[in-house]
Amino acid sequence: MFHNMKKSRKIMLIILMVVVFIISSILSVSQHIKSLEKDNIIGRYQEGSDTASDALYKKATDFGAEAIIVPGAAILSDKTPSPVLRARLDVAVDLYDKNVARKILLTGDGDNSQDYYDEISSMLAYIKGKGIPDEDIFCDHKGYSIFESMVRAKQVFGIDRAIVVSQTFHLPRAVYIGQKMDMKTRGIASDQVWPKEIHRGILRDENRKLILREIMARNKDFFILKFKKIPNLMDEKIDINGDGTRTHTIAK
């Protein structure tokens, strides 16, 4: 009996060590991506601010991006952007108005497979309402994830230099994928909403889930890129320097 207990403890110890190793590896990959892209996240819009510093505008302008990429996020039941998505769009509009880039690429779930959920239509209506010219807005209706969005930005829209706008927690992965796609990529954080919620613990459980999902997603995309499992898209090519109007709706 004593021998069996000793054997069971040994097995439990081995299992524990394996679990600790797996968790440590997952966290290490996540931290690696954050550390690697730290310097490529060139600034942030802070809580309650609709503008950035002159230094950020200059740094962003000097980078010479062809487009500002805005990844999709949740929309509300009235089909308007959620606060998180609205923050991203507001930053993109401000950067456009400051001549940081001549084009905006909206990318998200917008293929109308679900009539009640269309991120792209919501995003498009919002920034058109801010006065952005139709021809300078491009829409990618098949950006179902940030991985697909960044791959398509390079392969479909031919972007070589881009600024991605999203919240701080999300940017390292977006920038990392862009860089791995040979697309010079910089990130600007739209943190007008999230810092207050995270700092004060509001929606704490949801924030934990969000961060955990992002950690796992970093690992997934890291290994996809490491083993070069990048799809070679056969979609029609769209010139990001042209007229974006024809991308506003899906061709039937």
Q: What is the pLDDT of residue 116?
A: 63
- The 3-state DSSP class for residue 193 equals coil
Phi, psi of 96 (to 5 degrees): -60, -45
More confident residue, 211 or 117: 211
**What is the DSSP code (8-state) at residue 142?**
B
CB atoms within 10 A of CB 208: 10
Residue range 242-251: mean pLDDT, rounded: 89
Residue range 123-135: mean pLDDT, rounded: 97
Phi, psi of 182 (to 5 degrees): 60, 30
- Condensed to tens digits (0 to 9), the pLDDT of residues 26-82 reads 999 999 999 999 999 999 998 878 889 999 999 999 999 999 999 999 899 898 999
Q: pLDDT at residue 199 above 50?
A: no
Q: What is the pLDDT of residue 200?
A: 46
Distance CA(32)–CA(22), nearest Å, equals 15
- Condensed to tens digits (0 to 9), the pLDDT of residues 70-120 reads 999 989 989 899 999 999 999 999 999 999 999 999 999 876 555 567 899
More confident residue, 45 or 11: 45
Percent of the chain with pLDDT over 90: 66
Q: pLDDT at residue 205 above 90?
A: no
Q: Could you tell me the two tokens for 186?
A: 């910089």
Q: pLDDT at residue 201 above 70?
A: no
Q: Are strands 103-107 and 137-140 parallel, antiparallel or unpaired?
A: parallel
CB 72 within 8 A of CB 169: no
- pTM of full prediction above 0.85: yes
Q: What is the pLDDT of residue 158?
A: 96
Distance CA(128)–CA(110), nearest Å, equals 16
CB 159 within 8 A of CB 126: no
Sole residue written with tokens 């979609």: 235
More confident residue, 133 or 203: 133
Contacts for 181 with CB less than 8 Å, ≥ 6 apart: 150, 151, 153, 154, 155, 230
Distance CA(152)–CA(97), nearest Å, equals 25
Per-residue pLDDT band at 250 (split at 50, 70, 90): confident
When the pLDDT of each residue in the chain is averaged and rounded to a whole number, the result is: 88
Dihedral sign, Cα of residue 116, residue 120, residue 123, residue 127:
negative
CB 166 within 8 A of CB 132: no
CB 139 within 8 A of CB 120: yes
Per-residue pLDDT band at 12 (split at 50, 70, 90): confident
